[in-house]
Amino acid sequence: MPRNTQILLDNRPRGQASPDNFRLVVGDTPALRDGQVLVRHHYLSLDPYMRGRMNEGKSYAACQPLGEVMIGGTVGEVAESRHPAYAVGDKVVGMGGWQEWSVVDGDAPGMLRKVDTRHVPLSYYLGAVGMPGVTAWYGLVRIIDPRPGQTLVVSAASGAVGSAFGALAKARGCRVVGIAGGPDKCRYVTEELGFDACIDHRAHGDLAAMSKALKQACPDGIDGHFENVGGYILDAVLLRANAFARVALCGMIAGYDGQPLPLANPALILVNRMRIEGFIVSEHMEVWPEALAELGGLVASGRLRPRETIAQGLAAAPQAFLDLLQGRNFGKQLVKLI
């Protein structure tokens, strides 16, 4: 069996995460037992939710244990199989974590899924046609539930979730406004993803400036919002929200370092009779087939053109992850492992 390079969570962050929180180790891969599959990972997904899991404390999911392989989605190829449903060479997506190889129980629910790479690149199953894409689909379809002509806003618009949200919303006839960091990302959002407008949060770095920018970009108000960031961006959206607006609350990256994120004017939720709902996409597995089918169609037809930032080699994962948290990546952040 191959030697396996892994990255473990060595200690918990105090404030901002740092490379010192991680530890790289090399060990033996265990021999397969009946029903198991050996997967060689090609790509590792890096996602903002991982920062929350590094903390110790109450959350929607168990915290990342110290001394164990960091959690993370992976795509790769079956290298050896002792399970009848998987053959050597099958391309698969799973939760293999921050490591080059994984031994997976082929019968474990949700741990491994075969994918078709004839029309969709393998790496896209970690982004546009994977968990981030389904996250966008669920927030849009099941929470915001838009009507043609309505105005929708999404923060972190150039990322894996935001880009999928834009394509899905435009397919439903909505006016879509993104919020992203920097002129290059805003150009990508409007020129390649087809958003109607994009606001550079780096040029509008406080509540007053963001509120003014949203007023210009959304002259008819905001009917639906997909929130990935929190903080003053959410406060500004609430100021422009129409009556009965809906907010899908997916991420609060502005508060992942443990600082509280108070709302400036929560009375607006009552005044506008708004619906704000947080969700975790892994709790809604029943929608994944429908969502993945639509997302795959958007990619295959060219209506969703996701971008990727790819770090090379597992040792690069910690710094790439920290860059992601600071918004230095462009589109979906991946680590290439082969």
Whether 294 and 168 have beta carbons less than 8 Å apart is answered as yes
Tell which CATH classification among 3.30.70.3170, 3.40.50.12280, 3.20.80.10, 3.90.180.10 matches the domain 3-127+306-336.
3.90.180.10
Tallying the residues shown for the chain, one arrives at 338
Any idea which residue has 């389904």 for tokens?
Answer: 134
What integer pLDDT is reported at residue 259 of this predicted model?
A: 73
Alpha helices (H) in 56-156, listed in sequence order: 131-138
Q: Domain segments of the chain: what residues?
A: 3-127+306-336, 131-282
Question: Measured between alpha carbons, how far is residue 47 from residues 67, 129, 141, 224 in Å?
Answer: 20, 15, 22, 24
Place of tokens 């422009």: 240
Check residue 59 and give its pLDDT: 67
For the chain, 338 residues long, the average pLDDT of each consecutive 10-residue run is 95 94 96 97 95 81 91 97 97 97 92 91 96 97 98 96 97 98 95 96 97 98 96 96 97 74 93 96 94 94 92 98 92 96
Same topology for domains 3-127+306-336 and 131-282, yes or no? no
Q: Does domain 131-282 have CATH number 3.40.50.720?
A: yes
Residue pair 224/152 in contact (Cβ under 8 Å)? The answer is yes
pLDDT of residue 109: 85
Contacts of residue 246, Cβ cutoff 8 Å, sequence gap at least 6:
143, 144, 145, 223, 224, 225, 274, 275, 276, 277
Instruction: Give residue 258's pLDDT.
Output: 67
Token pair for residue 337? 């492992």
pLDDT at 110: 80
331: left (phi over 0), alpha (psi -120 to 50) or beta: left
Global pTM reads 0.90
